[in-house]
Amino acid sequence: MSLLEAIKVKKQKAGEQRRRSTRAVASLIIIPLVCCSLQMKQIQFYKDVLAANLQRIVQENTNEGNREHDHHNSTNTSWSEETRHARPNHTYPFTIAACLLARDDNLLLPEWIAFHYTVLPLRHLIIAADPFSITSPEPILGAFREELPDLTIELWTGNSYWHDGQWSRERFENFDPHNHTWKQAYTMYLQRQRAFYTTCLRQLKQQGNFSWTVIIDTDEFFTYNALLPSEQSQSSPLRMSLPSSIGRQNETIAHWLARDKTVHKNTTICYVYPRVFFSAKDQLSTKEQADINTTVPSSFFPVKTFHTLRYRSHQPVGRRQPGKSLVNVHNYNGRDKVTNPHRPLGDTCDNSWSQKIELEKIPFRVHHYSGSLDTFVAGPRRSAQQWADRNDFPIAGKDHSLAGWFHNFVQLVGEKTAYKLTVETRQDAYLQWKDIKYRVEQKNETIPLAFEYDQPGGAEKGRNKRQ
């Protein structure tokens, strides 16, 4: 290569570096612009976050130099050679299924699926895309199907899973999907939850391949009820027996369920577990950030923003909010209808949310995140003010029990697969969200629905459909 050619290449790299920095800064300033109506203390929080991220960008640009940025050619990784390749010899006493209802949650799905694939282990996912969605999860689901052949994913679209009864017909006849009030939409949403979870449990029961099934949302993560620092004096033998980390070989939720025959009896149909809410106004310490940098290489930067890794500060553990459930479909009669997502099968569910749950005796809990402002407002009918209000609670402490799950995911599937399923899918979803946001806010466009809004029951065209 001649000297002139070398100078030209160097200038091209420098220009590309400046463009990346500009795009990063531009994406960061969205937050304070969107949230200008919040109170001053919240505005100050956004300024602090912006300053910290700008400093990070400058530091990354300084360190980057002329190093090649292509991930697959990069040697800047903390994975050991053993970790970088999949280890398919993991065995489990059984695997677990999930019923998931989603609406424009593509920013959350890569983390949600990868986490539960590692931790449960999730091996059968039935996901229903709300007909009001303007984005389809199929590109993400297709990537997971292609890379993880042991994970079965069914995408249900439309309204085929609604019960084909008189009540459903009357409600649909009086509901206009293009012209309705918030109250009407919310009523239909609640019924949609009940209809989907009922049909999902019945299908899993009929297939007969699974027993335990989790029913949670896309911003919730099922995990151990690990001891928090503030609870050491209240520890019980059961809590002390729980693994110190999550997702390792022989330490999944399935392994613990198989070992513990006293807490989860074979005759029980449904258990309800408490939720713990995690704050988005979380400032990681230098050590906590260093821990993330150690377990997640720089080439996996989007993973560092995952809710389960980024947010550690939680509400007081005793704060009441309805729990979420784990259902044994093997014991489910296949006839009862789901009454609500918090206590799906009524009195057959142990540890009802309406009763006082003794946390020190509970092996599992559900981590609930509002997450970043971007992921929150990407959902329907959500505002920056609602995000701020949801995070307005006293911080009781920090929980680091999920810090190592992603490293275990990479050990399980290999570095290349992990990169495709988490970094690439998350980046694509974010670019899609930014494009929609621009079209709505700057061009005043109406984004068309991603799926057909059909009538309930009857036709099976939406069931088991892979778009």
Instruction: Taking residues 75-101, report their average pLDDT.
Output: 69
* Closest alpha carbon to 455 in 165, 190, 203, 180: 165
Mean pLDDT over the full length of the chain:
75
Instruction: Taking residues 25-32, report their average pLDDT.
Output: 38
Q: pLDDT tens across 210-234, in order?
A: 789 999 999 999 999 887 666 655 5
pLDDT for the residue numbered 116 = 97
Q: Burial-class residue 154 by CB neighbours within 10 Å (0-12, 13-18, 19+).
A: middle
Structure tokens at 351: 């540890």
Gap between the Cα atoms of 435 and 439, Å rounded: 6
The SS3 call for residue 419 is helix
Instruction: Taking residues 59-84, report their average pLDDT.
Output: 42
Residue 24: which pLDDT band, with cuts at 50, 70 and 90? very low
pLDDT for the residue numbered 264 = 59
* Closest alpha carbon to 34 in 370, 388, 359: 388
- The secondary structure of 12-71 as a DSSP string is HHHHHHHHHHHHHHHHHTHHHHHTTTS-HHHHHHHHHHHHHHHHHHHHHHHHHTT----G
Please report, as a single letter, which amino acid is at residue 328. Answer: N
Gap between the Cα atoms of 190 and 339, Å rounded: 10
* Closest alpha carbon to 82 in 407, 450, 404: 407
Q: pLDDT tens across 191-214, in order?
A: 889 999 999 999 999 998 878 999
Q: pLDDT tens across 344-389, in order?
A: 988 888 764 444 456 667 888 899 998 777 777 776 667 777 777 7
What pTM was computed for the model? Answer: 0.79
Q: pLDDT tens across 387-398, in order?
A: 777 777 777 778
Residue 465: which pLDDT band, with cuts at 50, 70 and 90? very low
pLDDT for the residue numbered 267 = 74
Q: Is the pLDDT of residue 55 over 50?
A: no
Strand arrangement of the beta sheet that strand 364-369 belongs to: 220-224, 364-369, 275-278, 313-314, 397-398
Residue 67: which pLDDT band, with cuts at 50, 70 and 90? very low
Q: pLDDT tens across 303-322, in order?
A: 888 999 888 888 776 666 78
For every residue of 259-326, which 3-state class applies, written as one string?
HCCCCCCCCCCEEEECEEEECCCCCCCHHHHHHHHHHCCHHHHHHHHCHHHHCCEECCCCCCCCCEEE
Structure tokens at 197: 């979870």
Residue 265: which pLDDT band, with cuts at 50, 70 and 90? low
Instruction: Taking residues 268-296, report their average pLDDT.
Output: 82
pLDDT for the residue numbered 44 = 46
Q: Please give the residue that has the higher pLDDT: either 350 or 78.
A: 350
Which DSSP category does 231 fall into?
G
Which DSSP category does 135 fall into?
S
pLDDT for the residue numbered 140 = 98
Residue 120: which pLDDT band, with cuts at 50, 70 and 90? very high
pLDDT for the residue numbered 235 = 60
Structure tokens at 103: 């609406």
CB-based contacts of 396: which residues, under 8 Å, 6+ apart?
230, 314, 315, 316, 317
Gap between the Cα atoms of 122 and 243, Å rounded: 18
pLDDT for the residue numbered 41 = 43
Residue 171: which pLDDT band, with cuts at 50, 70 and 90? low
Please report, as a single letter, which amino acid is at residue 40. Answer: M
How does strand 212-215 pair with strand 324-328?
antiparallel
| Segment holding 208, helix H or strand E | none
Gap between the Cα atoms of 12 and 210, Å rounded: 54
Q: Say what percent of the chain tops pLDDT 70.
A: 67
Structure tokens at 272: 């309800």
- Inter-residue contact 332 to 205 (CB < 8 Å): yes
- Inter-residue contact 367 to 402 (CB < 8 Å): yes
